[in-house]
Structures are given as structure tokens and as C-alpha cells.
């Protein structure tokens, strides 16, 4: 180097011995020149003034310019420093840290100031090399210790020595990897990553997300969102949000909170979020198609609400059970199916959907999409399920839960049970031991599922049935949303379905904004009148949840950018009791943690979210009863032929007031400030017209029945008279058949209508001389009168001159009545 003041460096051992000798005697040793140069040729640098060879010195406490300092002060200061360095040689001879060693520059400065010989300078160089070697050795030793620490510590993970200190960087035990937002550091695939940012709640549009409602909090995960109305790519996300339904809020400023975006669960859309009372379970969903993203091998992700942590359950396998696929099959991801959670049973369901390159790892792009009709069931950890073989006898599911793929449930494996995607699934308690699931809507790219016949699944028997509906039913659609509300006494459960879209023709889909009610057990469709209301734009891919008797609608796809709708507020509230859209969510007080009707609060089967709900007038007009229930139609209008609807019934409750007396009044959700009046509060014109028509048909049927009775009576009377005439003719040789009865001679007088003496008389005036009749009297028949009796004096032979007809009775029933009444 240019500033080296020695070109011939001693060997390390010689330098060390010379240095120790110097420390003992205080006299610089004589330098022994090595037999060969250590580095390069010996070149002794020229003498230069100190002021040209050094830069100004600085101290960490105070800057000192040694070059400009007066000579006596500088000599005194350097002497003091020299004394410090030589007074305590024992510390320097055993230096074990860098702080106890002086720099090369300090040593060389010392020897220059002392004006020593070349041997002294050589010794200083030797000391300098030794200290550099010691520093290098110490650094290497520290690096080796650090490397050994990094290698050994992971091997001690989860041992009695250290315990389970945290997530392992070399993999997870039992295939479960913990992800916690509370940790400042996180591990993903063995790599340390920074905590994720909170979800941004400020978006333009949001749709196709997964949602669940637990204890008054709505959780939203993933889906798609845009920050601009024209954005069409990079819309998939792993956003995680919550909405507080225990407080009131306006739809323009919902009580929404952005939670930390998790680092493990994938960004998917159109899956489902099951929930127990303390956990969320993310199943399925499709990965991004723009840009194209390859799915990962399927894992179930669980979010524990109390600990705010995510857990991955890898490589799930199906189990054998009732009407299942036999078990031991890998559970694959799917999307656009219908999900439903029944937390009181500890189970989640996912019906139908599809599999394609965006849902299943390794699915080749050219392979067409596969539409499903299977029902995937997941039993939550810690719950029982008699339909699964491994859980028979009251066994409970382990920490990974238990899967069952139901493919042979009743009509499920027949041609009349169609594959579909984008349907909805709703739970209704009662009827069966564990309640029923009702499927509505859905379809494929080529066909739709009709809603005049509904597919019903009996949970206890793992069997599907068909049930016909009455009333005008909704037009075909996919991807609506639906919730179920229970009457206070449980006599009816009313399913509300909103929105959806028609996929045909492709590229010109139509989004709907209508609301429909399917009331059960009547299974009657009712169209909700929302005229004069501010109705949200038609949409699909939205989610619905029910709390305090109100439907909370979040997000939804409202069509392509060219429809001009722009950004959507994404939050709407529908009052289920009065069938009105309102501008705010009104939180009620007094409900239990599951928000059940008060009469149902002690029954786990009671529907969550129904607190404060009253049966609307539009439904009462169809099924009878009052706002609290009391439905008079307690069975399907179209009789069920089999299954729980044919043999079961709803779970009913007694509604009581505050004083314990039976009452017909319950609390209801406060009406919002939405414009217009509810469609359910006014008269139902269609029902009135139908009633009038039915009444007219009833009257007509009664009249026809009455005329038929009169006709049979008159015909019987006529036949009796014919029989009597025939017997009379046979006895007296007179005319027979019909002609013998009431047929007079062509020249004789007309017969008399007075036959009280059973003799026909005739006369021309007031003369009293009788003349013989041209008619023979009919003698009595042996054994008594014929059936129906003989004709009496009140019988009219003129009105019996011909055989009666039914048409004649219809046209002149009074004449026929006169005949039979005189008999």
C-alpha cells in the first residue's frame, strides 16, 4: 500500500516473541531480517514531514486538530497517551476484544514521534501484523459460533430442552402450519416474512367474496375488487374484513374494519366460508384468470377468532359413510357451489359447483370444465356425525375435521337430478331429525335448474327428494343470495332470495333486482312488491346475511363498465318484516348471542338472526296466521310423496309476553328511512282475484251437484211410473210400454187430472152421470207399492209425459223440483 512504512514484514511467530520481549524489558529488540522478502522487494520510503503524512485526528468526545496545536501541548498530550499505553502492559498482552487494541495508526504515530530507528519501526510493523492476525482469528471464531448456533437451534425445536417456542423454520409437525397476525415475524415455506398490511376498505366495487356471520360479526374474505370502474384485471385478492352487526350504522358509512391480510390462504373467489361458534373454515374458490394463476394443492384454512390466527390443514381425505364415495379420496377444490353452515350440528355443506384449471392443481387448460352434483360435508373438530363410519358410536372429529363426499343420496345419482353451479342452499330446522337443506336456482352454461320443483336434502338420512311448489315462481337464474327467517312460533320458515343473473345469451347477461319469498312448509312462491322503493341495482356474486330480522347485502357484480353504473356503495339493508329497503341497519337489544327469536332462545335448532322478525302481511295472506306465526297451512300445498316433508312437521314454540301470558305481539326491527312503502303491507290484488275466481267455481260446482241430485230423483220417479204402466198392461191386456202410460184414445175425451180414486173420468159439461174411462185402472201390485211409492193425487202426469234430461234440469230446475216435491 502507498502509506506502508515497512516493506519487509517479520513472520508471525518472530513478531510475537519480539513483542513479548519488549513488554518484559522495555527495550526494543533487534530486528532479524528474514532470509527472503515476505511480500515484495525492499523499498524504503523517503522521509516526509509529519504534517504531510497525517490527516487531522478527531475524538469521539471532542474534535482536536493536533497539527495546529502548540508544540508543548501536543508533546504533553502525546506523552500522556503513551504513558497510558505502556503503563498497563498486562491488558494489551491478553487482548480479547477489539476495543482493547489500539489502531495501526496510533502505533505508527507513536514510533514516528519517538524518532526511533528502523528496528523500532520494524517492531511496530510486527506488532501491527500480530494484532491484525488476532482480529482475523477472532472474527472467524465468532462466525463459526454463529453458524453452529443457526444449525443446532432448529434441531432442538419442540424438545424437552426448549419446548415449543414458535413456528419451525424447517417444516410443521403433523402437516399443520400456524399463521398468526399477532406475531411480529412470520414463516412461510421456511422463509421469514414481514407482517401483512391491513385490508384496504376503500374500493370501487367488490364481488364474489366469501362471507360468514358469527356472534354478530360478519366476516368477508377474498373475492374480487376494483379501484376503478374500468378495471378488468388483477381483481382477485385475499382481503379480510369484518362488519359489526351489534351496532347501528348507515349504509353510506358501514361499520367495516380492515383486518390484516393473511400470508397463507390463497386469493380466491366464489368459494365458501363455513363457521363454527369460534372458527372460520375457508373451502374452495377459484384462482385468478387474469392474470392466469395456477392453483396450489388444496388445503383447508381455518381462522381461529379468539386467537386471530390461521391454521393450514393439508392433504384432506374423504371418509366412508352413508351414501358417500367410499372414502380415502383426496378432497379437491371447487368453485361456484352452494355453501351452508349449520353450527348447531357442527357441519358445513358445499353443494355442486365446478372444477377446472382455476380450481384444481394439475388440471390441464384444454380439459373442459366439469359441473358437479355431489354434496361435500365437513364435520368440524370436536363434533359428532352418525353418518360417518369413523365417527360412529359418538366419536368426535379430530383437529383436522372429517370429510364426507355424498354422491348417492336418493335421487342424486339419477338423470333427473341435474349438475349445476351458482345455486343457493338454505337450512330449515324441523321436518327431519336434523332439519333439511333447500336448494334453489343454479345451472350450467347451457341449461338452468327450474324452481317450480325444489331439491330438498334430509340431513339425517343423507337423502335427496323433490318437492313441487305453488304460485308463480322466479324466472331462471344463477348466483342469487338467500337467507331464512323463522316465525316466532316456528310455524313457518320464510326464505328470501334476492338478485342473480341470466347467463343466456353469453356475453349479454342480465342482472336481476327482484326479491322472492319461498314460504315453508307451504312451498309457495311469493313475489315481493317493491314498487315506489329505492331498490339496489340488479346484481350477482353478492353475499347476504341475516341479523335482527334484517338482510345485509354486501357487494355484487352489476354488469360491465359500459352499463354506466360506475362504483357501487356495496352495502344494503332489507327489512324482512315489512318488505322494504332501508338506508340503515338498526341494531336491536334483548337477543341472545345467536340472535334467535325469544321463544326459541333455549333451543339450539332455532334459526340464528331471526330476532325481531314478524311474518309480513304478504305471507300471512297466503298461509294464514299473524305476525308471530300461527300459520294455518302446515303442509306442502302440493302434497309430498316421500321424505321428511311427507312425514315430518315444523318445530313449533309458544310465544309469551313479558308477564308470561300467551300473546300475539313480538318486537320487530325498526323500519328504516328507505323511501316508499312496503309491498307487503297493502292488499294482495292477485290473492283477491284468485279468491273470487275460486269462490265462483265453488258456487258453480255446488249448483251442478244440486242439479245432478234433482235429475237422479226425477229420473227415478219416471222409471217407477213406467214400471207401473208395464205391469198394468201385462195384467189387463192394455197398451204396454211407455205408450200404455198416459196415452188416450184418439176419439175419447182427455183424461182427468184428478186421480184420487184411481179412475180416469171425463165429461163435457156439468153433468153428473159418469162415463166409463178409456183408461184402465192400474191394479195394486202384489207385495206392496213399488220402490218410490205409487203416484199420489199431487203427481202431475203432464210433467211426466217424457223422460227427463240433465240439460233440462240445468235450464229449469224449478220444474224438476215441483215434480219430485209432489211425489
Distance from C-alpha of 224 to C-alpha of 235, rounded to nearest angstrom: 5
The grid coordinates of residue 358 equal: 382455476
Domain membership flag for residue 77: yes
List, in order, residues 6 or more apart from 688 with CB less than 8 Å away: none
Place of cell 509529519: 50
Place of cell 381425505: 317
Quick one: 646 exposed, middle or buried, by C-beta within 10 A (0-12, 13-18, 19+)?
middle
Give the per-residue pLDDT at 569: 81
Confidence of residue 563 (pLDDT cuts 50, 70, 90): confident
Higher per-residue pLDDT: 378 or 36: 378
Place of cell 463459526: 144
CB atoms within 10 A of CB 754: 10
Whether residues 620 and 712 fall in one domain = no
Give the per-residue pLDDT at 821: 72
Dihedral sign (CA 812, 813, 816, 817): negative
Whether residues 611 and 730 fall in one domain = no
Whether residues 672 and 702 fall in one domain = no
Torsion angles phi and psi, residue 691, rounded to 5: -65, -40
Give the per-residue pLDDT at 156: 54
Three-state DSSP at 544 gives strand
Give the per-residue pLDDT at 820: 75
Confidence of residue 131 (pLDDT cuts 50, 70, 90): low
Distance from C-alpha of 453 to C-alpha of 464, rounded to nearest angstrom: 13
Residue 784 clears pLDDT 80, i.e. is over it: no
Give the per-residue pLDDT at 608: 96
Give the per-residue pLDDT at 747: 38
Q: What is the CATH number of the domain that holds 530?
A: 2.120.10
Give the per-residue pLDDT at 690: 73
Contact in structure between 582 and 673 (CB atoms under 8 Å):
yes
Give the per-residue pLDDT at 194: 47
Distance from C-alpha of 350 to C-alpha of 812, rounded to nearest angstrom: 66
Whether residues 813 and 730 fall in one domain = yes
DSSP class of residue 563? Answer: G
Contact in structure between 477 and 514 (CB atoms under 8 Å):
no
Which element (helix H / strand E) includes 125? helix 118-155
Confidence of residue 777 (pLDDT cuts 50, 70, 90): very low
Domain membership flag for residue 515: yes
Give the count of alpha carbons within 13 A of 86, CB side only: 16
Contact in structure between 617 and 430 (CB atoms under 8 Å):
no
Give the residue-averaged pLDDT of 656-670: 51
DSSP-based helix, strand, coil % in the chain, nearest 5: 20, 20, 55
Distance from C-alpha of 556 to C-alpha of 204, rounded to nearest angstrom: 11
Residue 382 clears pLDDT 80, i.e. is over it: yes
Higher per-residue pLDDT: 631 or 191: 631
Torsion (CA) 258, 259, 261, 266 in degrees, nearest 10: -100
Contact in structure between 606 and 660 (CB atoms under 8 Å):
no
Residue 758 clears pLDDT 90, i.e. is over it: no
Distance from C-alpha of 577 to C-alpha of 87, rounded to nearest angstrom: 96
Residue 322 clears pLDDT 60, i.e. is over it: yes
The b/e string for 759-790 (b: 16+ C-beta within 10 A; e otherwise) is: ebebeeeeeeeeeebbbbebeeeeeeeeebeb
Give the residue-averaged pLDDT of 622-640: 94
Contact in structure between 208 and 541 (CB atoms under 8 Å):
yes
Closest CA to 759 of 771, 741, 777, 745: 777
Give the per-residue pLDDT at 819: 74
pLDDT tens-place string over residues 578-615: 999 999 999 999 999 999 999 999 899 999 999 999 99
The grid coordinates of residue 454 equal: 325444489
Residue 726: give the domain boundaries.
688-742+776-822
Listed in order, strand segments (DSSP E) in 331-476 are 338-342, 347-355, 370-379, 402-406, 424-428, 436-440, 453-458, 463-468
Least confident of 293-307, 396-410, 485-499, 788-802: 788-802
DSSP class of residue 57? Answer: P
Whether residues 671 and 693 fall in one domain = no
Residue 39 clears pLDDT 70, i.e. is over it: no
- Average pLDDT taken over every residue of the chain: 76
Residue 366 clears pLDDT 90, i.e. is over it: no
Domain membership flag for residue 323: no
Which element (helix H / strand E) includes 212? strand 210-214
Give the residue-averaged pLDDT of 102-108: 43
Residue 556 clears pLDDT 70, i.e. is over it: yes
The b/e string for 62-79 (b: 16+ C-beta within 10 A; e otherwise) is: eeeebeeeeeeeeeeebe
Domain membership flag for residue 285: no
Give the per-residue pLDDT at 815: 76
Give the residue-averaged pLDDT of 356-378: 94
Higher per-residue pLDDT: 432 or 713: 432
Domain membership flag for residue 749: no
Three-state DSSP at 175 gives helix
Domain membership flag for residue 148: no
pLDDT tens-place string over residues 223-239: 999 999 999 899 999 99
Residue finishing a domain among 668, 683, 698? 683
Whether residues 667 and 737 fall in one domain = no
Residue 771 clears pLDDT 50, i.e. is over it: no
Give the per-residue pLDDT at 667: 34
Q: Return the bridge partners of 484, or none.
A: 495
Give the residue-averaged pLDDT of 773-794: 39
Whether residues 607 and 664 fall in one domain = yes
Give the per-residue pLDDT at 694: 84
Residue finishing a domain among 137, 170, 197? 137
Give the per-residue pLDDT at 809: 76
Residue 163 clears pLDDT 60, i.e. is over it: no
% of the chain exceeding 70 in pLDDT: 64
Contact in structure between 398 and 313 (CB atoms under 8 Å):
no
Give the per-residue pLDDT at 195: 57
Length of the chain: 823
Whether residues 670 and 703 fall in one domain = no
Domain membership flag for residue 128: yes
Number of structural domains found in the chain: 3
Report how far apart, in Å, the C-alpha atoms of 822 and of each of 178, 350, 794 are.
Answer: 98, 75, 5
Higher per-residue pLDDT: 551 or 189: 551
Higher per-residue pLDDT: 139 or 418: 418
Residue 640 clears pLDDT 50, i.e. is over it: yes
Give the residue-averaged pLDDT of 662-673: 39
Residue 712 clears pLDDT 70, i.e. is over it: yes
Residue 525 clears pLDDT 70, i.e. is over it: yes
Confidence of residue 710 (pLDDT cuts 50, 70, 90): confident
Least confident of 98-107, 451-460, 565-574: 98-107
Whether residues 678 and 738 fall in one domain = no
DSSP class of residue 785? Answer: P
Residue 181 clears pLDDT 60, i.e. is over it: no
Residue finishing a domain among 663, 683, 703? 683
Closest CA to 191 of 210, 168, 214: 168
Residue 538 clears pLDDT 60, i.e. is over it: yes
CB atoms within 10 A of CB 553: 22
DSSP class of residue 381? Answer: T
Maximum distance among all alpha carbons in the chain?
196
Residue 527 clears pLDDT 90, i.e. is over it: yes
Give the per-residue pLDDT at 741: 34
Query: How does DSSP assign 717-770, residue by residue?
Result: HHHHHHHHHHHHHHHH----TTTTSS---SSSPPPPS--TTS-----SSS----
Domain membership flag for residue 307: no
Give the residue-averaged pLDDT of 383-398: 96
Whether residues 596 and 722 fall in one domain = no
Whether residues 568 and 638 fall in one domain = yes
Quick one: 41 exposed, middle or buried, by C-beta within 10 A (0-12, 13-18, 19+)?
exposed
Whether residues 633 and 649 fall in one domain = yes
Report how far apart, in Å, the C-alpha atoms of 608 and of each of 152, 284, 545, 577, 625 are.
Answer: 53, 25, 10, 16, 22
Give the per-residue pLDDT at 732: 54
Distance from C-alpha of 807 to C-alpha of 711, rounded to nearest angstrom: 9
pLDDT tens-place string over residues 48-67: 444 444 444 444 334 445 55
Give the per-residue pLDDT at 697: 86
Three-state DSSP at 23 gives helix
Amino acid at each position: 500500500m502507498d502509506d506502508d512504512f515497512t516493506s519487509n514484514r517479520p513472520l508471525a511467530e518472530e513478531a510475537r516473541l519480539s513483542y513479548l520481549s519488549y513488554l518484559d524489558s522495555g527495550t526494543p529488540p533487534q530486528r532479524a531480517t528474514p532470509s527472503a522478502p515476505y511480500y515484495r522487494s525492499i523499498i524504503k520510503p523517503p522521509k516526509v514531514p509529519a504534517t504531510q503524512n497525517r490527516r487531522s485526528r478527531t475524538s469521539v468526545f471532542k474534535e482536536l486538530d493536533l497539527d495546529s496545536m502548540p508544540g508543548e501541548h501536543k508533546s504533553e498530550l502525546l506523552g500522556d497517551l503513551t504513558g497510558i499505553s505502556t503503563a498497563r502492559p498486562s491488558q494489551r498482552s491478553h487482548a480479547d476484544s477489539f476495543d482493547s487494541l489500539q489502531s495501526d495508526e496510533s502505533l505508527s504515530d507513536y514510533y514516528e514521534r519517538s524518532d526511533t530507528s528502523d528496528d523500532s519501526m520494524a517492531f511496530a510493523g510486527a506488532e501491527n501484523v500480530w494484532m491484525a492476525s488476532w482480529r482475523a482469528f477472532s472474527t472467524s471464531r465468532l462466525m463459526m459460533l454463529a453458524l453452529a448456533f443457526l444449525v443446532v437451534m432448529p434441531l432442538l425445536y419442540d424438545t424437552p430442552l426448549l419446548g415449543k417456542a414458535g413456528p419451525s423454520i424447517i417444516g410443521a409437525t403433523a402437516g399443520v402450519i400456524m399463521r398468526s397476525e399477532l406475531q411480529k415475524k412470520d414463516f412461510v415455506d421456511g422463509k421469514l416474512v414481514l407482517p401483512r398490511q391491513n385490508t384496504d376498505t376503500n374500493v370501487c366495487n367488490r364481488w364474489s367474496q366469501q362471507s360468514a356471520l358469527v356472534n354478530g360479526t360478519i366476516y368477508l374474505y377474498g373475492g374480487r375488487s376494483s379501484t376503478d370502474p374500468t378495471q378488468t384485471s388483477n381483481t382477485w385478492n385475499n382481503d379480510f374484513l369484518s362488519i359489526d352487526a351489534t351496532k347501528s350504522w348507515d349504509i353510506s358509512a358501514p361499520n367495516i374494519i380492515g383486518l390484516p391480510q393473511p400470508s397463507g390462504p390463497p386469493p380466491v373467489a366464489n368459494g365458501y366460508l363455513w363457521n363454527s361458534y369460534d372458527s372460520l373454515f375457508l373451502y374452495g374458490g377459484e384462482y385468478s384468470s387474469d392474470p392466469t394463476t395456477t392453483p396450489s394443492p388444496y388445503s383447508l384454512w381455518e381462522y381461529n377468532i379468539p386467537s386471530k390466527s390461521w391454521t393450514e390443514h393439508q392433504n384432506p381425505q374423504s371418509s366412508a359413510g352413508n351414501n358417500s364415495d367410499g372414502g380415502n379420496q383426496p378432497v379437491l377444490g371447487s368453485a361456484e357451489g352452494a355453501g351452508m353452515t349449520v353450527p348447531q350440528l357442527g357441519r358445513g355443506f358445499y353443494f355442486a359447483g365446478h372444477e377446472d384449471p382455476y380450481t384444481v392443481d394439475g388440471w390441464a387448460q384444454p380439459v373442459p370444465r366439469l359441473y358437479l352434483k355431489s354434496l361435500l360435508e365437513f364435520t368440524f373438530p370436536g363434533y359428532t356425525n352418525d353418518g360417518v363410519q369413523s365417527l360412529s358410536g359418538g366419536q368426535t372429529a379430530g383437529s383436522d375435521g372429517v370429510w364426507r363426499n355424498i354422491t348417492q343420496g336418493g335421487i342424486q345419482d339419477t338423470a333427473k337430478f341435474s349438475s349445476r353451479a351458482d345455486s343457493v342452499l338454505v337450512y330449515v330446522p324441523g321436518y327431519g331429525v336434523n332439519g333439511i337443506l333447500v336448494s334453489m336456482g343454479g345451472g350450467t352454461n347451457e341449461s338452468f335448474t327450474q324452481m317450480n320443483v325444489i331439491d330438498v336434502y334430509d340431513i339425517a338420512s343423507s337423502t335427496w327428494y323433490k318437492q313441487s311448489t305453488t304460485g308463480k315462481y322466479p324466472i331462471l337464474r344463477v348466483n342469487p343470495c338467500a337467507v331464512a327467517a323463522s316465525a316466532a312460533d316456528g310455524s313457518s320458515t320464510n326464505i328470501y332470495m334476492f338478485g342473480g343473473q341470466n347467463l343466456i345469451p353469453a356475453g349479454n347477461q342480465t342482472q336481476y333486482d327482484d326479491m322472492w319469498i319461498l314460504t315453508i312448509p307451504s312451498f309457495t312462491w311469493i313475489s315481493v312488491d317493491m314498487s315506489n322503493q329505492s331498490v339496489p341495482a340488479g346484481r350477482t356474486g353478492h353475499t347476504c346475511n341475516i341479523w335482527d330480522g334484517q338482510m345485509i347485502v354486501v357487494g355484487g357484480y352489476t354488469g360491465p363498465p359500459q352499463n354506466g353504473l360506475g362504483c357501487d356503495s356495496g352495502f344494503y339493508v332489507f327489512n324482512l318484516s315489512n318488505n322494504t329497503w332501508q338506508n340503515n341497519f338498526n341494531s336491536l337489544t334483548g337477543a341472545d348471542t345467536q340472535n334467535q327469536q325469544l321463544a326459541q332462545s333455549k333451543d339450539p335448532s332455532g334459526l340464528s338472526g331471526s330476532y325481531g322478525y314478524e311474518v309480513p302481511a304478504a305471507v300471512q295472506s297466503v298461509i294464514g296466521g299473524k305476525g308471530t306465526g300461527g300459520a294455518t297451512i302446515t303442509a306442502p300445498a302440493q302434497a309430498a310423496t316421500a321424505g321428511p316433508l311427507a312425514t315430518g312437521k315444523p318445530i313449533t314454540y309458544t310465544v309469551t309476553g313479558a308477564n308470561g301470558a300467551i300473546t300475539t305481539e313480538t318486537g320487530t326491527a325498526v323500519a328504516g328511512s328507505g323511501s316508499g312503502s312496503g309491498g307487503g303491507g297493502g292488499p294482495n290484488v292477485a290473492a283477491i282475484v284468485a279468491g273470487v275466481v275460486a269462490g265462483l267455481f265453488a258456487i258453480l260446482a255446488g249448483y251442478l251437484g244440486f242439479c245432478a241430485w234433482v235429475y237422479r230423483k226425477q229420473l227415478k220417479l219416471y222409471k217407477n211410473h213406467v214400471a207401473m204402466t208395464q205391469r198394468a198392461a201385462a195384467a189387463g191386456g192394455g197398451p204396454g210400454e211407455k205408450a200404455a202410460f198416459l196415452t188416450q184414445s184418439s176419439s175419447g175425451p182427455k183424461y182427468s187430472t184428478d186421480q184420487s180414486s184411481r179412475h180416469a173420468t171425463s165429461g163435457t159439461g156439468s153433468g153428473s152421470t159418469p162415463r166409463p174411462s178409456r183408461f184402465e185402472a192400474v191394479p195394486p201390485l202384489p207385495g206392496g207399492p213399488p220402490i218410490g211409492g205409487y203416484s199420489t193425487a199431487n203427481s202431475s202426469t203432464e210433467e211426466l209425459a217424457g223422460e227427463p234430461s240433465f240439460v233440462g234440469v240445468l235450464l229449469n230446475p224449478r220444474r224438476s223440483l215441483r215434480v219430485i216435491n209432489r211425489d
